[in-house]
Amino acid sequence: MIPLSGDIGNAKGIIRENLGTVETRRGTTTLKRGFAHMLKNGVVMDVTTVEQAQIAEDAGAVAVMVLDKLPADVRKAGGVARTASIRIIEEIMDSTTIPVMAKCRIGHVYEAQVLDATGVDMIDESEVLTPADEFHHIWKWDFTTPFVNGARNLGEALRRIEEGAAMIRTKGEPGTGNVAEAVIHIKNVNTELRRIKSVYDAGDEQDLISLARELKVSYGLVEETASLGRLPVVNFAAGGISTPADAAYLMTLGCDGIFVGSGIFKSDDAKERAQAVVLATTFWEDPLKVKEAQKMVDERQSMLGLDTKNLELRMQERGSTA
Amino acid sequence: MTGLNIGVLAVQGDVMENLSATRLAMDDLGVEGVVTEVKSPDQISELDGLVIPGGESTVIGTLSLVNGSLKKIKEKIASGMPVLGTCAGMILLSKKAKDRIVGDMEQPLLDYLDIRIERNAFGRQKDSFEADISLEKIGIPKFRGVFIRAPSVSEAGRDVEILSKIDGKIVAVKQGNIVGTSFHPELTSDLSVHKYFITMAQKGKR
């Protein structure tokens, strides 16, 4: 049984139809959140080509995320970053057996419709692409395909869940090869979860209401989340993960799994690194195994990375006030 | 130890959900014992029953091969240990898997349950569905099936009992001490399938 906190019940994205003589429902919260649960303890890898998707699948990725450019190249190229070419997404869908995800711009309802019609397994409404709506995210309850959203803190995470996100990931600072921001974000979420839980456990309703106002989230969702003591959806780490030890470190902070963006395919030992990050994520509790994984990669081949303090573009701030 | 020692293979996937469903099923039945996450061959060798959860079968298979768990699980099944495989778990137990779009798969399998699997048989995530199904043969007349990128059984050997079908496709099977389902009983609040598995483990122990 999985938590269904925040479920609005009769969402537009739910489709009732018959399979033979049997009545079925698609797009329910159990199916959307359940899909994310199947990814737990796994690694989702950013890919731009069929070849990269194949390397990812062979290395043991639980899913691939198709982009037009890796986040590090988006950062370098500047300009407007949009959803990937549908033809490439379809080629990858036809050649891999693991789930295929793709990104749409924040608030861009029609890029999401196109991805939904393409049949990708999950849509990432992502700050890596240039936001299309400064004030609203997509109302994700209208879709049959599940969504994942980025968050830097508990308020953002719960607001995205309230809009229908079936999975959350930390934003980190994409395309930097630097995990520092992802670490801050996961710790923010954990600290705030402990805070609402302690208020809930103390039975202080008045204080919980003011916390809900502070987080800009409905009281009901805050209360249910506080009673669970964790987010009601699966929560992955993302942004700047480059090495097996990075992945293992984030798992120790209580993440359910890992997204790797530029870290693998911007390195010069992508194949070994892909396998090594998977190993370290699976066996993160065993330092000897993580050491073995770390030994599979060569630090001289890692992407150079950026200091996150002096960036012109901070992708993580996109969509954070909405 | 007198109680049952049940493990949930904790490599990747919805381990926690299976852990809690199994725990609740034992409590409901008043069966004594423990349910733990297992990863290593040593942990697996101690078990009276194993649940292989949902997840990505390619990932669970590849990583269980790496640390020798796959071989140990196979030995234990041969010696009669009951196993419940849900979705990816059923794929891993099978002899041969084929993807609906991509075709034959070279993924590591336990090669024990005499079935051929069609992976993603109902389509992609958007086609994932919930529906009421029936497993009459094991005393469960009605069950809410949660099918997520679900596989189906395209061929079943002589010793395989077909427990449930939907739209002509086989979605639950039993072969001796093995039960496999295309759907995810651990995602619902109905404990019937996990209870059935615990009853099997209890008989095996006696």
pLDDT digits 0-9 by tens, B38-63: 999 999 999 999 999 999 999 999 99
Torsion sign across C-alpha atoms A74, A76, A77, A79 = positive
Contact A97 B99 (CB under 8 A): yes
Active-site residue, A216 included: no
* Three-class secondary structure of residue B134 per DSSP: strand
Minimum-distance CB partner of B146 among A34, A63, A121: A34
Contact A279 B63 (CB under 8 A): yes
Q: Where are the domains of chain B?
A: 4-205
A6-14: which pairs have CB atoms within 8 A and are 24 or more residues apart? A6/A158, A6/A161, A6/A162, A6/A220, A6/A221, A6/A224, A6/A232, A8/A141, A8/A164, A11/A141, A11/A142, A11/A164, A12/A141, A12/A142, A13/A140, A13/A141, A13/A142, A13/A143, A13/A144, A13/A145, A13/A164, A14/A144
Average pLDDT, chain B: 95
Taking alpha carbons only, the member of B164, B165, B159, B171 closest to residue B136 is B164
Torsion sign across C-alpha atoms B14, A161, A119, A262 = negative
A220-228: which pairs have CB atoms within 8 A and are 24 or more residues apart? A220/A6, A221/A5, A221/A6, A221/A158, A221/A161, A221/A162, A222/A158, A222/A196, A224/A3, A224/A5, A224/A6, A225/A5, A225/A154, A225/A158, A225/A193, A225/A196, A226/A193, A226/A196, A226/A197, A226/A199, A226/A200, A227/A200, A228/A3, A228/A5
Active site residues of B: 87, 184, 186
Q: Are A14 and B128 in contact (CB under 8 A)?
A: no
Q: Pick the catalytic residue from A32, A76, A103, A291.
A: A103
| Architecture (CATH level 2) of domain B4-205 | 3-Layer(aba) Sandwich (3.40)
> Which chain A residues touch B if contact means CB-CB below 8 Å?
1-2, 19-20, 22-28, 30-31, 34-35, 37-42, 57, 60-63, 93-99, 116, 119-122, 144-146, 278-279, 282-283
Mutate one of A282, A283, A286, A290 to test the B interface: name it (highest B CB count within 10 A). Answer: A282
pLDDT digits 0-9 by tens, A214-233: 999 999 999 999 999 999 99
Contact A94 B102 (CB under 8 A): yes
Q: What is the phi/psi pair of residue A127, to 5°?
A: -75, -5
Pull the structure tokens for residue B40.
């290593």
Contact A282 B11 (CB under 8 A): yes
Query: Can you say how many angstroms the Cα of residue A95 is from the centroid of all Cα atoms in its chain?
Result: 23
The fraction of chain A above a pLDDT of 90, given in percent, is 82
Which segments in chain B show pLDDT lower than 70? 1
Pull the structure tokens for residue A140.
């994700």
Residue of B nearest to A285 (CA): B39
Residues in A closer than 8 angstroms to B62, CB to CB, are 60
Query: Can you give A15-36 as a three-state secondary structure string?
Result: EEEEECCEEEEECCHHHHHHHH
| Structural domains in chain A, sorted by start | 43-306 (3.20.20.70)
Minimum-distance CB partner of A19 among B88, B101, B131: B131
pLDDT, residue A77, reads: 87
Report the C-alpha gap between B155 and A2 in whole angstroms: 32
Contact A40 B12 (CB under 8 A): yes
In A38-168, which residue ranges form alpha helices assigned H by DSSP? Answer: 50-59, 71-77, 86-95, 109-118, 154-162
Please give the ipTM for the structure prediction.
0.96
Q: Which residues contact A318 (CB under 8 A, 6 or more apart)?
A: A106, A127, A131
Q: What is the pLDDT along chain A (322 residues), one digit of tens a residue?
A: 899 999 998 899 999 999 988 999 999 999 999 999 999 999 999 999 999 999 999 999 999 999 999 988 888 888 889 999 999 999 999 999 999 999 999 999 999 999 999 999 999 999 999 999 989 999 999 999 999 999 999 999 999 999 999 999 999 888 888 999 999 999 999 999 999 999 999 999 999 999 999 999 999 999 999 999 999 999 999 999 999 999 999 999 999 999 998 889 988 999 999 999 999 999 999 999 999 999 999 888 887 777 777 787 888 888 888 8
Mutate one of B90, B102, B117, B129 to test the A interface: name it (highest A CB count within 10 A). Answer: B129
Taking alpha carbons only, the member of B37, B73, B23 closest to residue B197 is B23
Pull the structure tokens for residue B47.
């078990």
Minimum-distance CB partner of B148 among A20, A38, A57: A38
